Structure 1
Amino acid sequence: MAILQGLDRGLRALNIISLRTEGVTVAELASRLDVDRAIAYRIVETLEEHALVTRGEGKRVRLGAGAVTFASRFHPQLVRAAEPVLQELADASGSSAFLCVAQGDTECVPVLAAEPTQQTVIRVGYRIGMRHPLAKGAAGIAILAVNTPRPNEPEAVGEARSTGYSVTSGELQPGAIGISAGFEVPGLLGASVGVVAMGPLDAERIGAQVREAAARLASLSLI
């Protein structure tokens, strides 16, 4: 049980560190994990031994090269294939584009994003790695829509299955509109590609764009 608790704390620590590009101090990490500072130090030292974190200026803890290596092994074909597709989608729609995958059968995780070449005055986007419920937000609903219908599934999932894309407003961030289309990926429960912006979007036009992007990615060999 102690070993599992240590593993849980280490994984939680990695998640906390990954969300802070400026890094975190050991004291901040101890507070977030609700453990003594001595335990937080041991967690950081263990992660350092495996190159998963590093301590730089001000002894702030950041992700290390080992974490990047693991990330590069996560469906690299999918990520490589998605990069140009996302950029084209961002430029065509004039909005932030993103790729999300299912984490288990309850959560959605953004893994890649692209911004339009022509910068906009107001920009909104997903934080990479920030999980949210599959049934909340266009990306997760689009993933649910490519799966077999389930009893009591949200009405929005059925609508997305019918139109080929999902549209949500303000579910993850007030004022943000999301439009996504889901597709199947070998080894995953599902993935989706879409855009997010502040203010109104032409759902029919952009819906067709995200549906085309999803079809392009689904047609590739992503094993």
Structure 2
Amino acid sequence: MPPRTSRAAPGRCAARPRGARTRLPYVPPRATFALSVPLSHPEETRVTQGTSGVNARAYSKTLGNGLLVLELLRHHRQGLGINAIATELGLHRTVVYRLIGTLRAHNLVTVGADGHHRVGLGLLELATAVRADLRRAAEPHLTRLAEHVAATAFLAVADQDDAVSACVVEPGNARLHVGYRLGIRHPLTVSAAGLAILAGRPAVEGERTEVTRARTRGYATTTAELEPGAWGLATRLPNASGHAGASIGVVALSQLDATTIAPTLREIAATIAEEVDT
């Protein structure tokens, strides 16, 4: 996906047919930052298929294939036809036809006049239920934070070994800023957001020195870990509220004064955790 140039924006919180070629499973691209300045390197890729440790006897292959269809369409905003989906996933066209029919019935997939299938609004409705209490509490504070530092503010939550952006607010007073897409996923061991979450957990052998440092000083900083030039600062939400798997922070096009911003960031994190509890 090409990078976008952005100005100020508001917050937004199987069987194969006979004779078919053997294809590897679909591997969606790793979500990354979209900066407001051009980038030169392509997106990374990562495998998201698998049962993530779930007992194979408790795993539904049909449901899994349906979710792979959604994952595929998520990375093809222009949409895909039945044949293209079947080819990408290595599934029989009839199987894909039935999967699409079921997903459309639940408003998770829509089809345009061009015959291409795209993700439906039902996914947005489902997404709004994810940590809704935490996101509602965080958004007004992140809005003020983004305006205060003239940089993009975010809330990230842990999902197994990954950090996922759950709320993003872009500054209205900056001519250029980092466009941090909602739903971006990356390993906890990468970026200030993930390191801050790890810093809220007990120390483990072999952890990055940045995690140890973040645990001591109360915040994590990184430079160019997800994109060239992007600088991030994050702090964990207090685990007394059960949010040891969450962090808030800012991401900017250049390094900011962490010692000045960090106290405000920690104060906001404590306030959010307290509001979620009440």
TM-score scaled by structure 2? 0.71
Specify the alignment match of 2:272 in structure 1: 217
Taking the TM superposition and a 5 Å limit, the aligned residue runs for 1:58-73 are 58-73=114-129
Deviation at 1:189, TM superposition (A): 5.4
1:163 Cα offset (Å)? 1.2
| 2:169 alignment counterpart | 114
Shift in alpha-carbon separation, 1:47–1:159, aligned structure 2, 3 A: same
CA distance in 2, matches of 1:152, 1:195: 27
Where structure 1 has 5 or more consecutive residues not aligned to the other structure, the ranges are: none
Does residue 76 (structure 1) correspond to residue 124 (structure 2)? The answer is no
Of 150, 169, 181, the residue aligned with 1:94 is 150
- Residues 1:33 and 1:204: Cα distance change in structure 2 (over 3 Å): farther
Which residue identity is paired with 1:204?
T
Which shows bigger deviation, 162-171 or 22-31?
22-31
3-state SS of the aligned residue for 1:150? coil
Q: Deviation digits for residues 89-136 of structure 1, max 9, x if unmatched?
A: 1111111111110001x1111111001111323x21332223110011
Residues 1:189 and 1:57: Cα distance change in structure 2 (over 3 Å): farther
- The 3-state SS of whatever aligns with 1:119 is coil
Where 2:114 maps in the other structure, the secondary structure is helix
Q: Give the alignment's TM-score, normalised by structure 1.
A: 0.87
The whole-number CA distance in structure 2 between the counterparts of 1:10 and 1:222 is: 36
Residue deviations 1:69-92 (CA, integer Å, cap 9, x gap): 222222211111111011111111
Partner of 1:59, secondary structure, is: coil
Q: Number of matched residues? A: 220
CA RMSD of aligned residues (A): 2.4
Call closer, same or farther: CA 1:216–1:31 in 2, change over 3 Å.
farther
Pick 1 or 2: higher relative contact order, CA cutoff 8 A, min separation 6. 2
Distance 1:10 1:218, change over 3 A: same
Whichever residue aligns with residue 218 of structure 1, its letter is A
Flag the structure with higher helix content: 1
Q: Which moved more, 1:73-82 or 1:206-215?
A: 206-215
Q: Distance in 1 between matches of 2:241 and 2:262?
A: 24
The structure that is strand-richer by fraction is: 1
User: Does structure 1 conserve the Cα–Cα contact (< 8 Å) formed by 2:243 and 2:273?
Assistant: no
Moved over 6 A (4+): none
1:202 Cα deviation from its structure 2 partner: 1.3
Structure 1 letter corresponding to 2:217: T
Corresponding residue number in structure 2 for 1:129: 183
> Residue 191 of structure 1 corresponds to which residue in structure 2?
246
Alignment correspondent of 2:212: 158
**Whole-Å separation in 1 of the counterparts to 2:90 and 2:258:** 44
> 2:20 aligns to what?
none
Amino acid at match of 1:140: G
SS at structure 2 position matched to 1:39: helix
Report sequence identity in percent: 38
Q: Could you say if the C-alpha distance between residues 153 and 140 of structure 1 is closer, same or farther in structure 2, counting changes exceeding 3 Å?
A: same
